Amino acid sequence: MSGSSIGKNFTVTTWGESHGKAIGVVIDGCPAGLPLCEEDIQKDLDRRRPGQSPYSTPRNEEDMVNILSGTFEGITTGTPISLIIYNHDQRSKDYSQIANVYRPGHADYTYHQKYGIWDYRGGGRASGRETAARVAAGAVAKKILSRLGVKILAYTLSIGPVKIDPEYFDENEIYKNPLAMPDRKAFQKAAEYIEQMKEKGDSTGGVVECMINGLPCGVGEPVFEKLDAVLGKAILSIGAVKGIEFGRGFGAAFTTGSQNNDPLTYIQNKGLVKETNNSGGITGGISEGFPIVFRAAFKPTPSIRMAQKTVTHDMQNTELNLGGRHDPVIVPRAVVVVEAMTAITLVDYLFQRILSRMDLIKKALS
């Protein structure tokens, strides 16, 4: 596993297993001069934290973050920022049952085959718990972005068959309901649907949508690090994500050029505008300066109470009965993870944008 870092100039390295002593993240390349305290980070961690609603696992982790390095008197110093979150709820007792079985939909089999050794406790490194470290780093990235006028907003677009109605889109609602849906009615229907799943011992998937506002034109490094390509990598690296699409996305494949091209118009006192945003705000892999929008598909939580067929480590067919209580849906808790991965990526490429022109370089160094 040598893929625990992401980012070229703003580099985020996570470490830690679900049931190890702690999880953490090192941020290298955070510029000096940014005010930063634990509270800045904690508020995003709290959004991801389990055990807060009937729709997530009751595992109770406080997820208190500690800044171990990289700040002096509340200001970043330009040196690496090390953040740590201790694991308190490390009950290993529950895992004897799965120590020798490959859970369907989980990474048990692939990790075991790849490494020849498998820390089965709570999914080890493959646990969703690892994303807490991403969220912590994302909070730092978001603070940088906010200073540069960039805002990221993610929310639950759909859960199972229940989709929000764009007409009733209400940003405030995202933070008010535990499913992070920007439409109160959709939230209520989705909550009902989740209750049904819980009763059956089943789980559901969903879609997260993310909007970026305020990002200037010119971000993204063709030809291999196009902005959509690197955002795609960042989002697809979140466990459970099975697809990503920008703007009209898969829908674009079924349209014609005259339908899908976004005409540009210049309007006095308003500047350049786009009548449509089929591109999702990125063309040629470079941000247009217009809002960016993408969607990520999350598969249903693989841990379900229903009985499942699978095999043991020594290839005996068996039936798995996980019992216990599991997240019936991962999507709401993943919203802030999507924001985090987006922020981490944007900081890196917004920084690189400076280096693409002699005039910007001269301005910075003058």
| Spatial contact of 119 and 130, defined as CB atoms under 8 Å apart | no
- CB nearer its own copies, residue 60 or residue 110: 110
- CB nearer its own copies, residue 45 or residue 157: 157
What CA–CA distance (Å, rounded) separates 53 from 336?
16
- CB nearer its own copies, residue 137 or residue 174: 137
CB of 90 to its own copies, least distance (A): 12
Report which DSSP code applies to 277: -
Amino acid at 323: G
Q: How many CA atoms lie within 13 A of 319 on its CB side?
A: 5
Residue 131 tokens, joined: 């994303």
185: part of which helix (H) or strand (E)? helix 184-200
CB of 173 to its own copies, least distance (A): 21
- CB nearer its own copies, residue 42 or residue 260: 260
- CB nearer its own copies, residue 13 or residue 42: 13
What CA–CA distance (Å, rounded) separates 294 from 326?
28
- The helix-helix angle for 227-236 and 331-354 (nearest 10°) equals 150
Distances in whole angstroms, Cα of residue 351 to Cα of each of 160, 300, 335, 341: 38, 36, 25, 16
**Beta bridge partner(s), residue 158:** 163, 207
CB of 181 to its own copies, least distance (A): 14
CB of 47 to its own copies, least distance (A): 20
Residue whose C-alpha is closest to residue 94's, from 85, 103, 86: 103
Residue 1 tokens, joined: 């596993």
- CB nearer its own copies, residue 95 or residue 169: 95
- CB nearer its own copies, residue 176 or residue 273: 273
28: part of which helix (H) or strand (E)? strand 22-28
Kindly give, in sequence order, each residue whose CB lies less than 8 Å from that of residue 75, ignoring residues fewer than 6 positions away: 32, 33, 34, 35, 36
- CB nearer its own copies, residue 41 or residue 172: 41
Kindly give, in sequence order, each residue whose CB lies less than 8 Å from that of residue 314, ignoring residues fewer than 6 positions away: 100
> Kind of pairing, strands 286-287 and 292-298?
unpaired
CB of 323 to its own copies, least distance (A): 15
- CB nearer its own copies, residue 178 or residue 205: 205
CB of 55 to its own copies, least distance (A): 14
CB of 14 to its own copies, least distance (A): 6
CB of 210 to its own copies, least distance (A): 14
- Secondary structure of 78-109 as H, E, C letters: CCCEEEEEECCCCCHHHHHHHCCECCCCCCHH
160: alpha, beta or left? (left if phi > 0; alpha if psi -120 to 50): left
